[in-house]
Structure 1
Amino acid sequence: MSKTLFSGLVFCMSGTLSKGRSEIEKIIKNHGGKVSSSITKATTHLITTQNEFDSPTGKVSKALEDPERVSIVNEDFLWDSISQSTVVPVKKYLFGNDDGDDEDDKDDEEEEEDNAQDDVNFEPKQKKRKLTQTTDVVEPLVKFENFSLLNDDLLFVIFKYLNVEELIRLCYVNSKFYSLISDESNEETVTFLINVRNNYLNSRVASMKPSKFFQTIHNCEYDEDDEDERRRRYMTPEEVEEESKKEKPVVQSLVKSQNRMTLSLEKWKTWKNKHVKAIKAYQTSHKNAKRSDYKYSLLESIKFRRFMDRFFDCDFIYARVSECDDDVDTDEPVDGQEEERTNTFKGGLKSQLRKILNHIEKFEEISFGRHEEEMYENYPKIYYEWIKTNAAKLQNIKSIYMMEVPQSDCEVSWLHHNDITEILNSLPKLSIWQSKGSIDLQLQPNISHVSLRSIILVSTGLSAPLLTNLFTAYLPNLHHLELFLGTSDQGGDFPPELLETTLLKKEETGIFPSLTYLGLRNYEHINKISKAIFESAVAKRVSTIDISLGNLYDKGVKSFIEILENGINTDFMCLEVLDVHRNYISKEMRARLLELPVVVNCVPSSDNYADDDNQEEENEDGDDYGDRYIALSE
């Protein structure tokens, strides 16, 4: 080993390299070189990746200002120099140099050959489940051919005990059974499906801790623990045991109002009538709408319920791609905390994406994480282009999470996006779109997507153009709309009236006629629209209303609670769940909410000042919220 090989050279690094940074720094120093954490006047070489060069980070941009002094090279420059015991000519390792590009292409081909071993050994995985579940065991099927004793009466008895998974499987494998079970003109069929649905829901609720129920209805990354859970962290074991014997508000509400989630024939007919009315209104505003676009049968609602339960249980088989430093330690999750998803494959972004594509038939979901070291400068172009280029091979992907980046890596308010219209158009079978961040997040007017069932936009502020185009989009089968509306300080530049004149109209416009979950979360002006929410037509045909994570206080609750109390068994017959947790509601008003015959979560914010004297603290415009803050504003 030559201890003077890199004497006089100063290296800087950017991006994810084949070895951890600390290891590479040690190697450079052992060979006489120096390392700088940023581009300085002394820096001679920047070691980086093709992705960093294509979408220049701060270090790359700085180096490009003086290309005569700083050589931007790939890491092979290091390894070849060490193996040959001499500093090799830099030309073929330079980014932007034709010779270097040819060499990169050759390396890509060699890497692709090396990846063949992954094809042999790779096994897909699912996220760590939030709920304890048993492992499914696939048993061989027994065919009852020529079994005369298995008559129609006996078959009917057997079918009465079908679970949801078996019902869905039968629909896929037997067209005659599917036709039979889809015929809702037969009341006996409807009754059977209602029983299947209720049995499934009851067994599901019974299988989980009541306090975890609300984690399974929405994105729970920014939910807060129950106030009792927070206190437990500072209790002795004896105090914890004593505390566990006390009733908890969320648990009480679920136990008291679980029957509200039970479907009856009357309730189903009410929902169906409202749905049909909404579809007719929706078709008047979307001239190209076709009746065949809509899936509003009882069977479809059961299938969708199971689909979204799998999604929120983290039960999809996923592929995860992210740029990460190999030398970064990952902490073990504490009890009750969900484990962060790790990359499915090793290597740089291009290598990971190539391997995912090789195994694409094994995945249901793709999670796109960090795309460069300094994400606050550029949108993830490499991900957007990869999806559009390979769309034909991605048609069986059910869910996409764009920019699933932990806040420790980058604030949500710094995450960039681009126009997602082309991505959605290229994936007509996509069911779930979830993204984090909203800088430059765009959607073109008049977009149409028949298969999209769920949209989740986690942000610190959604723009007026984005919301306007979203609310005029043709999304006939959208069941789940979850918007982190945010604050005007972070891009939420829309006035509250925009929501009132589009999504929250009193008259039935038919907007999103299949909607069952309405989530207007993390909104600084939630008090200004709270009454409009419950006066709207859309709120009277959904089963879940979620206005959590905001700064709702008593004034906002007073504007709608009488509407709910008076119409809970008429206008709001379909409403099952109300989530107003992590807000600033007083104990007295929370107690009143818990009297409603629906499942309510009103766990207050951990910094709740609701019981002090600031309940009415605001200026004439209602924009000064004192010490009240939304959950996610950075």
Structure 2
Amino acid sequence: MSYASHLKESYGLPVFDFPGPEDEGTTRLPEADAVAWRISSDTYDSEEEWTEAFARFTAAVDTTRVRAIVVGAWEEAYESGPGRIIAALVDAGPRLPALRALFLGDMESEECEISWITQADVGPLLDNFPELEEFGVRGGSGLHFSTAAHSRLRSLTVETGGLPAGFVRSVAAADLPALEHLDLWLGTSEYGGDSALSDLAPVLAGERLPSLRHLALRNSEIQDEIAAAVGSAPVVARLETLDLSMGVLTDEGATALLGGQPLTHLTSLDLHHNYLSEPLRERFRDVLGTAGVSLDLDRGHADEDEWDGRVWRFVAVGE
């Protein structure tokens, strides 16, 4: 099992942790537009709420120059959603005219397991920041997407151990004409990932995503079905990169992918964490590697377990 880790950069900027109250006044702060600011409280026994940390941040930093904000841990994230955090960010919107990137829920497992993170409707963030270009969120429990359209968003990343079908359908139905990069961690039914291939159909058709060039549909227990559908998906012809990694991809799905439309126009194909046989890996190298496509076929930690006469395979990120 792999785990999501803290972001190292956002919007091309290094992530900097805004200091806690005990370090206030002793930590030298960078220029407001030189970093992506991670603002956090403690998940357990927090002495300061996230909204209080954010209030200190807006008082200490020239918010008119801030380009990226990373929302880290908040108090009791395993049972308390980010409603107040979203409200605080929306209220501060007029003081954040340069904000172009926002990530909600940047927590590692020690702070809160990915499938324990309680989320909310992220629509108000997109609706109230019309200039936002990059948005990401971690955690699928209670996650909703009420945004019907956003004209400037270029990148959308959703990291979960189980992505609700309603969220997938809402994203697929949204008008996102500028979106170039879509990354969905679909997860497993055990952790709320109940989407079906039909929910992804509008994404694979690509009609509502005219600018899409980088597609990742990964960390899925139905990775074979997805790979087979991608093999004939209209959107693939204009992609530059394709990522079907981190899921339960076997020879069945990979064979369908190779037997579909040509993929030699891709600059990269990421299939890491897979359950492929060595002969099939070699086929990918022969067909795509020799054509100049950068391949990641690393099996990683994709180990099989056999129990009660059945072979069990797992996605990379679950709980």
- Aligned 8 A contact 1:418 1:440 in 2: yes
Deviation at 1:352, TM superposition (A): 2.4
Establish whether residue 123 from structure 1 lines up as the match of residue 30 from structure 2.
Answer: yes
Establish whether residue 601 from structure 1 lines up as the match of residue 303 from structure 2.
Answer: no
SS at match of 1:600: strand
Distance of 2:277 and 2:141 partners within structure 1: 35
2:301 aligned partner, one-letter code: S
Establish whether residue 457 from structure 1 lines up as the match of residue 158 from structure 2.
Answer: yes
**Structure 1 pair 349–464 and aligned structure 2 pair: CA distance change class (3 A):** closer
SS at match of 1:457: strand
Establish whether residue 504 from structure 1 lines up as the match of residue 189 from structure 2.
Answer: no
Q: Render the CA deviation track for 1:449-489: whole Å, top value 9, x for unaligned.
A: 11100000000111121111111101001000000011111
1:543 to 240, 255, 276: 240
1:363 to 66, 74, 80: 66
Quick check: which one's strand share is greater?
A: 2
1:363 aligned partner, one-letter code: V
Deviation at 1:347, TM superposition (A): 6.2
| Matching residue of 2:183 | 482
SS at match of 2:149: coil
Give the ranges of 4+ consecutive aligned residues of structure 1 lying more than 6 Å apart after TM superposition: 325-328
2:93 to 388, 391, 404: 391
SS at match of 2:260: helix
Q: Trace 1:581-596 onto structure 2 (pairs within 5 A).
A: 581-595=272-286, 596=288
- Aligned 8 A contact 1:319 1:356 in 2: no
Quick check: which one's helix share is greater?
A: 1
SS at match of 2:184: strand
1:502 aligned partner, one-letter code: P
**Structure 1 pair 18–478 and aligned structure 2 pair: CA distance change class (3 A):** closer
1:321 to 35, 39, 46: 39
Q: Render the CA deviation track for 1:114-160: whole Å, top value 9, x for unaligned.
A: x8x68x9632489xxxxxxxxxxxxxxxxxxxxxxxxxxxxxxxxxx
- Aligned 8 A contact 1:582 1:605 in 2: yes
Q: Percent identity?
A: 27
Q: Render the CA deviation track for 1:522-553: whole Å, top value 9, x for unaligned.
A: 01001012111120111111100100000101
Q: Render the CA deviation track for 1:301-339: whole Å, top value 9, x for unaligned.
A: xxxxxxxxxxxxxxx6111211139999xxxxxxxxxxx
**Structure 1 pair 488–586 and aligned structure 2 pair: CA distance change class (3 A):** same
| Matching residue of 1:268 | none
Q: With structure 2 as the length reference, what TM-score do the two structures score?
A: 0.83
1:600 aligned partner, one-letter code: L
**Structure 1 pair 349–529 and aligned structure 2 pair: CA distance change class (3 A):** closer
SS at match of 1:434: strand
Q: Render the CA deviation track for 1:376-416: whole Å, top value 9, x for unaligned.
A: 11102231111111111123112111010111111110111
Distance of 1:607 and 1:418 partners within structure 2: 31
SS at match of 2:58: helix
Distance of 1:326 and 1:457 partners within structure 2: 24
| Matching residue of 1:522 | 219
Q: Give the gaps of 5 or more residues in structure 1.
A: 1-16, 20-114, 127-315, 329-345
Q: Give the gaps of 5 or more residues in structure 2.
A: 1-19
- Aligned 8 A contact 2:220 2:246 in 1: yes
**Structure 1 pair 477–121 and aligned structure 2 pair: CA distance change class (3 A):** same
| Matching residue of 2:145 | 443
Q: With structure 1 as the length reference, what TM-score do the two structures score?
A: 0.43
Q: Trace 1:63-462 onto structure 2 (pairs within 5 A).
A: 122-124=29-31, 317-324=35-42, 349-358=50-59, 359=61, 360-372=63-75, 374-444=76-146, 447-462=148-163
Aligned pairs, number: 293
SS at match of 1:522: strand
- Aligned 8 A contact 1:414 1:437 in 2: yes
Q: Trace 1:18-37 onto structure 2 (pairs within 5 A).
A: none
Larger Rg: 1
Establish whether residue 467 from structure 1 lines up as the match of residue 168 from structure 2.
Answer: yes
Distance of 2:197 and 2:83 partners within structure 1: 32
Deviation at 1:351, TM superposition (A): 3.9
